[in-house]
Structure 1
Amino acid sequence: MSEKKSLPERLKKNLTKRAMKYLSTPEGMKKFQQLLESKKRADRFLGAIYGLAGLPNLADKQQVEWAVDRQAKRLRDLSGQVEKVENLLKRLEGLLDEAPAKAPVPAPEPVVAPPPPPPVVEAPVVEAPVVERPVVKKPIDKPRVAKAPAKPKPAAKVPEKKAVAPKKTAKKAAPAKPKPKPAKRPKPLGAVPQKTLLSGSKSLLDLNFKKKK
């Protein structure tokens, strides 16, 4: 047992010696100072967080004791409130046991819902038959062959105009002289008007009468 205990003690001594030698060097001192500064920063950061959360800083023992006392008082107050609630529940249970048992109220009859109306069947929609129109293929245009140029037609002969003799103008006839009107012959004496005479008769005094045609 003494040998087993001596091994960790020896290791501790060797480690402490090496640590002291390392810290005595300037590099060891710089690293040790950096560790102390980082610890201070961490403590400040944790203190700020505890202050925001309303918790005491663990580094300050007085604040920790005050926080513990406050929590103990809150727990005592809560335990008293729980006891009061338990007493009230017990009183309620006793009152329920002393109350007379009431006759059970019959449950209301279930209301039968009316049957749903029959579904409306829609008439099937008959689609008109699609008539396929025959596809008329257009005739393929044959390649047009260039026609040979038409031969020039011979120039038409212009007929020579014949000399036309001047027409003789007919002399206008002299205007006819008006014929003198015959003088009226005087009526013979003793002439009787034709209305009073017999038909086809003339005056006896008129010797120059004409025969009937």
Structure 2
Amino acid sequence: MRAKTDEKRNAIIAAATAVFEEVGYRGASMAMIAARLGGSKATLYGYFHSKEQLFATAVTSALDEIGDEMLASLRADGDIVTVLTRFSRLYLDLITRPEILAIQRTVLSESQTTGLGREVYLLGPQRGIDALTDFFSERAARGEIDVPSPRLGALYFKSLLEAGVSEPLLYGLDEIRDKSEAVETAVAAFMKIYGKP
């Protein structure tokens, strides 16, 4: 039964993705997605409580493999600098992808009048912050860093990493800070603040 449920959920996501790509978030409706699927709106609502949740799931599902690789890098063996550097490279490669930037622009334009921003944030950025928080907690327990709040450490590190990279791209600029330099300086700054000699 579980396989059938997963199969139906995946079919809904595929139909929704096609509709969103064709008419955009604003132009899409649950009725259009149900028609594409060949089912009813009741079926859609049995899996997703809103168009916002379905959109968030559709856009983040397409990037699950890349996101999973990035999050898995935090569980790799190695010293904290090596692991953080690998994670950071994967993270910047992910957030600078054109499709991610397009998703962010859609979310920003719709989030004032819908719950779309919250849905996408919980399925995307929040997962990364939670994984970094766990990583910093674990490394603090090992005595590698001294970070009073792993959650704040995760937020600070994310900000250090994105500085001069994600925001210019979001606004349509092509000139961004070199990603290799961004990784190197973010890791170095974090370790200078929280690292143990």
Pair member with larger Rg: 1
Q: Which structure has greater helix proportion?
A: 2
Q: Same fold (TM over 0.5)?
A: no
Q: Which of structures 1 and 2 has the larger relative contact order (alpha carbons within 8 angstroms, sep 6+)?
A: 2
Instruction: Give the TM bin, normalised by the shorter chain.
Output: under 0.3
